[in-house]
Amino acid sequence: MSNPKVELHIAGYGVITLELDQDKAPKTVANFLSYVSKGHYDNTVFHRVIPGFMVQGGGFEPGMNQKPTDAPVENEANNGLKNKNYTVAMARTQAPHSASAQFFINVADNEFLNHTAPSAQGWGYAVFGKVIGGTDVVDRIKAVPTGRKGFHDDVPKDDVVIEKAVVV
Amino acid sequence: MARPALPRFQELQAPGSWHTLDFISDLHLQAAEPATFEAWRRYMGSTPADAVFILGDLFEVWVGDDHAQQPGFHADCGAVLQAASLRTPVFFMHGNRDFLVGDGFLRACGVTPLADPAVLGFAGQRWLLTHGDALCLADADYLQFRGEVRQPAWQLEFLTRPLAQRQAIARGLREQSEARKRSGVPYPDLDGPAVAEWLGAADARVMIHGHTHRPAEHGVEGGRQRIVLSDWDAAAQPPRQQALRLTRDGFRRVALD
């Protein structure tokens, strides 16, 4: 069976196509597809953009309103996938198994985010797919000007909006 | 990414009588985390080290030395430092949370301020000590904020405000930090080329730092090394309360009771 693919349509930027690794990250992929299919990501923003590191989104509407999420998903960071450039991984709080909807696209090889030990400090961040189309779109997003907005750092000065996310 | 200008490195030479040095950081002491305070108090009262180096973020927040003069949590922390400094020399470096701890408080506790960065001569080697936040170059917004709040003028303006107002600002900052944690991390790591550049400028082979809460040993080009300290959380399962203990034979991580 071929891996599922998801398109992120970014207003004014273009389309990012993600290939999801169903074999290595089955629970994370199922969780992500569930949010896609119910339209959770439609009209959310990339709210945290740090060039040389990652671009993070999927949790906030424009205006930095946080969207409600489902129960957190088990952290599959021990699946052997690495946080390499243009891979996609789940964001989370400091608790290892706390990821829900927010994800990030690595825009560098972030080795220090990989799983090293089953501890709070060593769990790492679960990679569950990679960008297979629209890396130029990712490159343009990571270059946008950012600043402080309310409680948040590194917020794009102009919203970078995911108009819709669709399974293809 | 713009590379900031190289800092000045404070020089410090360990006396020949020192054999064992401890390094701790990122305890984030606060009244709401009594278990971590207790673990730290026990540690400070019992460590066999000839000197203790605190490399930033001992305190979760600090709104001014005057606050610690009133009975309360920070005064209790000061008493622990004072008692420890009678047993063994204690060195204190600022972190990104407790950058407002003043020389006055430290002096009253018998603690020696340590600049960030500093170079320690020990066991025939030079050890580069830093909190680490200044090297997280990817976090440009934070570095801009850091540049502002480390200005003497900014600090003077802040510290002359009424205490209640400063405490309100601190509460806001804590809510901001909590919101950041809830909204999902990861955080960037130290910039590799900048680490190599600092080590070169300091003529040191090993850097010891905290800040990232990701304890590890990383190789740096040229056979050099970067050692990352653990944060503390005595209420976590398993608890995290650890010192890095350095002797002439090398270093080890000591889990504390």
Q: How many CA atoms lie within 13 A of B248 on its CB side?
A: 7
Please provide the size of chain A in residues: 168
- For B188, the closest of A53, A94, A120 (CB atoms) is A53
Which has more confidence, B6 or B77? B77
Range of the domain at A12: 5-167
Which has more confidence, B207 or B181? B207
- Please give the average per-residue pLDDT across A34-60, as a whole number: 96
pLDDT value of residue B181: 65
Structure pTM? 0.87
A85 close to B (CB below 8 A): no
pLDDT in tens, A101-155: 999 999 999 999 999 998 888 899 999 999 999 999 999 999 999 988 877 888 9
β-partners of residue B113 are: B92
A128 close to B (CB below 8 A): no
B214 close to A (CB below 8 A): yes
Give Cα separations from B158 to A12, B114, B142, B143, B155 (angstroms): 42, 22, 18, 19, 5
Lookup: tokens for A4: 């599922």
pLDDT band for position B110 (cuts 50, 70, 90): very high
Rounded CA gap, B141 and B133, in Å? 12
pLDDT in tens, B82-95: 999 999 999 999 99
pLDDT value of residue B221: 95
Q: Which domains does chain B have, with CATH numbers?
A: 10-255 (3.60.21.10)
B20 to chain A, closest Cα gap in Å: 26
pLDDT in tens, A114-129: 999 988 888 999 999 9
Rounded CA gap, A112 and A94, in Å? 15
- Please give the average per-residue pLDDT across B119-124, as a whole number: 97
- The count of structural domains within chain A is 1
- What ipTM, to 2 d.p.? 0.73
In chain B, what residues touch A112 (CB-CB under 8 Å)? 189, 212, 214, 216
Q: Answer for the pair B127, B91: CB distance below 8 angstroms, yes or no.
A: no
Interface of B with A in 114-173 (CB under 8 A): 137-142, 145
Backbone φ and ψ of A97, nearest 5°: -105, 45
Residue B178 pLDDT more than 80?
no
pLDDT value of residue B169: 85
Find the residue in B nearest to A55 (Cα): B186
pLDDT in tens, B132-151: 999 999 888 888 889 999 99
- Please give the average per-residue pLDDT across B89-102, as a whole number: 96
pLDDT value of residue A137: 98
A157 close to B (CB below 8 A): no
- The answer to whether A52 contacts B137, with C-beta atoms less than 8 Å apart, is yes
Instruction: State the CATH number of the domain containing residue A116.
Output: 2.40.100.10
pLDDT in tens, A52-84: 899 999 999 998 888 999 999 999 999 999 999
Q: Is A34 left (phi over 0), alpha (psi -120 to 50) or beta?
A: alpha
pLDDT in tens, B188-235: 899 999 999 999 999 999 999 999 988 999 999 999 999 999 999 999
Which has more confidence, B64 or B185? B64
A101 close to B (CB below 8 A): no
